[in-house]
Amino acid sequence: MNTTTREQEKLLVDRIKSGDRPAFENLVEAYRSKVLGTLYNLLGGYQQAEEAFWDVWTEVWKSIDRFKGDSKLSTWIYSITTHVAYHERRRRKGIGIPLEEVENTVRSAASPETEVLHQEEARLLEKGIAKLPESLRTPLVLHAIAELDYEDISEILELPVGALKTRVWRAKIELKKVLEPWMKFEKI
Amino acid sequence: MDEIRENLTCLRVAELRGSGEALPVELESHASSCPNCLAVREVDEVLGHYEPPRMPHYSRERLWERIEQRGSSSSAVWLRYAVAAVLAFVAWISLYYGHPTRPQEARTNETPVVAQKPILVASLCSVSEIKGNVYLRSLGETPWRALHLQDQLTGGTAIKVASGSAVRFSFPGKTEIALQGDSEGTIQTIFSDRKGLDSFYLLHGKVYIHHRDNPFMASTPVALIEAVGTEFSVRHEGKDTEVRVFRGRVHVKSLKQETSMGREQHLWVGSRADFKVQPFSMKEAEPWERSEFKLAYLNHGKMIQSTIKLVKHTNAVRSSEENLPELRNNTENKAELLTKHQEQHEKSVNQKQSQKLEERATNYHGHLERLRDKEEDQMKKYDEEQRKKAEELLKEQEAHEKK
């Protein structure tokens, strides 16, 4: 991250710390789709993801004073996201992941035809991600959905970068197994 | 290309094995033939146009509505915790003070400073290391039992470390506590300004605290020590408490007075102490304050005696004076090594240069000799031609004269 972005980030954080609500709203706006996507894939259900989404932003608003700028703001937000998802999963342990909900979610697509194709592909992908063990799922989601650097994920999950890369790679190999039939169908 | 390189763990492993940096061509050929790499590329493609679900009913008003709802529900949770904790605290106090094995120090007439604050149950510490015999007594339990690594230490849990033993545990805010032998204390959460504060109450003995981000407070029967990003030690013996700060600042409160103290300062709190902050040298730090614990305990009937380091110190803890000779030595050694390397390098460079010059000179001489030979040959040829021409001319002249 360059100096200007850091400075802008610091300014934004200072404004939020002073209770500037519009500044906080802008922050939520900037991260909302990725945070929701991350939660959705970590928790595997839209309803839980939405609940957790509000928890994340409540936590960000409440504890922004504790953010000292040692790490990137995005790293800090995703760190909270990961923690909230982790606690939500622990709380709901044994309930299982309601994959049926996946079909009722709202996405955007260019045409009805591509929408159907993308919906199916996304459904399979989410199914695959939900089947992954937590140790592979979290690094993959943070890397592919939240689009974080390996260094940032390493900071959040407290894992070495090399190990993270291997986990993401393994997660993708596992995903391929789930997506295999779809890919064959698409080639036809 | 970088992306391919990033994803090719198999190739990365090969690189690490010493086959060197792979060329782009090698990467491409590998990526198109390796089934795993092909799979990764295909998945990347799918992930590339994956779009997560959207939130159709999101609005700024809704955001604040939900945040306020959650804020109030969290305070309701806090209130529930507080009521439960107060009840638990009352139960603990009655059990603790009624217990016959309670140490003598707790029976002093002095009102414990911490008793003025509500102590609640919320913290959850994890035990990192146990050496020797360490016991715990959870809230509501009467007898002491042996502490194990998997034990979860909630607020109100009392810990007793036998002589020659030690234990290390950490709070959720990552503050680390190393409790030395012959010590006893309780894990607590003190609520101040509606915020839970991790705390450790030292009934007697010695404790080393490496405080991290979250607010933390240590206490003894006569003092409250508030940590502000620091490393410090607390010792409570008899009726007095000594606080020594190795890094950062702490705020100390007694029944009547309060003060702030910083690095390399110490303070005695108690009935006989004058509550004056005084300097101390890092050299005076005892081994346990350097987190070196001398252990002596029985393990399966065998006497174990060793010295261990429980908490990793930051460099700041070691005094700069102490580090200087070491640093100087290191620098001098490095300088010597560098000079040697430089000399060797110069020698080798000079040798190489002179060798090259010699080679060039030899080549030049050879070339010169070849040129001379060539020149001589040419001269001989020329002489021969001239001689032949002169002879021919002479013959022609003779013939002409005869005519």
- Percentage of residues of chain A with pLDDT beyond 70: 79
3-class secondary-structure state, position B137: strand
CB B226 within 8 A of CB B194: no
Cβ-proximal residues to A153 (8 Å cutoff; 6+ apart), any chain: A139, A142, A143, A159, A164
Question: What's the confidence (pLDDT) of residue A113?
Answer: 54
Please indicate, yes or no, if residue B355 is contained in any of the structural domains.
Answer: no
For A112-125, what is each residue's pLDDT tens digit?
Answer: 555 566 677 778 88
Is B117 inside a domain boundary? Answer: yes
How many Cβ atoms are within 10 Å of B345's Cβ, its own excluded? 10
Give the residue from chain B lying closest to A34, CA to CA: B52
Q: Is B201 in contact with B219 (CB distance < 8 Å)?
A: yes
Which residue among B296, B324, B340 closes a domain? B296
Task: Give CA angle at B262 (B258, B263), nearest 5°.
Answer: 150
Whether residue B283 sits in one domain with residue B157 = yes
Chain B closest CA to A122's CA: distance in Å?
A: 6
Give domain status of residue B146, yes or no. Answer: yes
Residue A161 scores a pLDDT above 50: yes
Q: Cβ distance A89 to A42 under 8 Å?
A: yes
- Pair (B6, B116) in one structural domain: no
Q: What is the dihedral of CA A102, A108, A114, A120, to 10 degrees?
A: -10
B278 is a domain residue: yes
Phi, psi of B277 (to 5 degrees): -75, 125
d(CA B217, CA B258): 14
Q: What is the pLDDT of residues B46-100, one digit of tens each?
A: 888 788 787 777 788 888 888 887 765 555 555 666 666 776 676 666 555 544 4
Cα B307 from chain centroid? 22
Task: Count the neighbouring beta carbons within 10 Å of the beta carbon of residue B276.
Answer: 9
* B120 and B42 in a common domain: no
Interface touch A58/B71, C-beta < 8 Å: yes
Written as one letter, the residue type at B5 is R
Evaluate if residue B192 carries a pLDDT over 60.
no
Who contacts B104 (Cβ-Cβ below 8 Å, separation ≥6)?
none
Give the model's pLDDT for residue B203: 87
Total length of chain A = 188
At A28-67, the pLDDT tens digits run 988 988 999 999 988 888 888 888 898 899 989 988 888 8
Determine contact: B16 vs chain A, CB below 8 A.
Answer: no
Range name among A140-154, B26-40, B153-167, B229-243 with the lowest pLDDT average? B26-40
Of A5 and B346, which is predicted with more confidence?
A: B346
CB contact under 8 A, B63 and A57: yes
Per cent of chain B over pLDDT 90 is 4
Domain assignment of residue B79, yes or no: no
Same domain, residue pair B202 and B276: yes
In what helix (H) or strand (E) does residue B235 lie, and over which residues does it extend? strand B224-237
Listed in sequence order, the residues at least 6 apart from B153 whose beta carbon sits closer than 8 Å to its beta carbon are B123, B124, B125, B126, B127, B136, B159, B169, B187
Listed by start position, the domains of chain A span: 3-187
> Do B231 and B283 share a structural domain?
yes
Torsions phi, psi of B135, nearest 5? Answer: -120, 155
What pLDDT is attached to residue B399?
A: 92
Give me the pLDDT at residue A185, please. Answer: 54
Is residue B248 a part of any domain in this protein?
yes
| pLDDT at residue number B395 | 92
Q: Ranked by mean pLDDT, which of A5-9, B28-32, B139-143 comes out on top? A: A5-9
- Architecture of A3-187 per CATH? Orthogonal Bundle (1.10)
- Of the partner residues B7, B12, B55, the one whose CB lies closest to the CB of residue A36: B55
ipTM of the complex: 0.78
Residue B196 lies in a domain: yes
DSSP element (H, E) containing B345 = helix B320-402
Tokens of B28: 């491409």
Q: Is residue B372 part of a domain?
A: no
Exposure class string for B307-330: b at 16+ Cβ within 10 A, else e? eeebbebeeebebeeeeeeeeeee
| CATH number of residue B277's parent domain | 2.60.120.1440
* A·B CB contacts under 8 A: 93
Of B4-13, B168-177, B303-312, where does the model show the most confidence?
Answer: B168-177
Please give the Cα distance from A123 to A100 (Å, whole number). 9
Show Cβ contacts of residue A131 under 8 Å, excluding neighbours closer than 6 positions: A174, A178
| Shortest Cα distance, chain A CAs vs residue B284, angstroms | 34
Q: Which residue from B318, B231, B312 is spatially nearest to B282, judged by alpha carbons?
A: B318
B75 in contact with chain A, both atoms CB, cutoff 8 A: no
Most confident of A68-82, A83-97, B71-85: A68-82
**pLDDT mean across residues, chain B:** 73
Average confidence score pLDDT of chain A: 80
SS3 label, residue A90: helix
The better pLDDT of the pair A5, B187 is held by: B187
Does residue B229 contact residue B213 with C-beta atoms inside 8 Å?
yes
Number of residues that make up chain B:
403
What are B228's two structure tokens?
């502000």
User: Over 50: is that where the pLDDT of B284 sits?
Assistant: yes
Give the residue from B236, B265, B296 where a domain finishes.
Answer: B296
Contact partners, residue B351, CB within 8 Å, separation at least 6: none
Q: Are residues B197 and B139 both part of a single domain?
A: yes
- Least confident range from A7-16, A134-143, B63-72: namely B63-72
Q: Please give the average per-residue pLDDT across B263-292, as a whole number.
A: 77
The better pLDDT of the pair B327, A85 is held by A85
Residue B208 and residue B213: Cα distance in Å, rounded? 17
**What's the pLDDT band for B108 if we cut at 50, 70, 90?**
very low
Does residue A108 register a pLDDT over 60?
no
Range of the domain at B291: 90-296
Is residue B247 domain-shared with residue B143, that is, in the same domain? yes
- The percentage of residues in chain B with a pLDDT greater than 70, rounded to a whole number, is 65
Give the closest residue to A107 by CA, choosing from B56, B76, B4, B248. Answer: B56
- Set of chain A residues whose Cβ sits within 8 Å of the Cβ of B46: 121, 125, 175, 179, 183
Distance CA A173, CA B41 (A): 10
Question: Rounded mean pLDDT of B19-47?
Answer: 74
Looking at the fold, whether B15 and B156 belong to one and the same domain comes out as no
Averaged pLDDT for residues B176-191: 81
Q: Name the token pair of B3.
A: 């992306």
B31 at interface of A, judged by CB pairs closer than 8 A: no
Task: Determine whether the interchain pair A58/B70 forms a contact, defined as Cβ–Cβ distance below 8 Å.
Answer: yes
Q: What is the pLDDT of residues B3-17, one digit of tens each?
A: 555 555 565 555 544
What total of structural domains would you count in chain B? 2
CB-CB neighbors (< 8 A) of A66 in chain B: 213
* pLDDT value at residue B177: 85
Option in B43, B44, B67 nearest A57 (CB): B67
Report the pLDDT value the prediction gives residue B74, as an integer from 0 to 100.
53
Phi, psi (degrees; rounded to nearest 5) at B44: -60, -40
A78: pLDDT strictly greater than 90: yes
Q: Where are the alpha helices (DSSP H) in chain A?
A: 3-17, 21-43, 46-63, 73-91, 112-131, 134-140, 150-157, 161-187
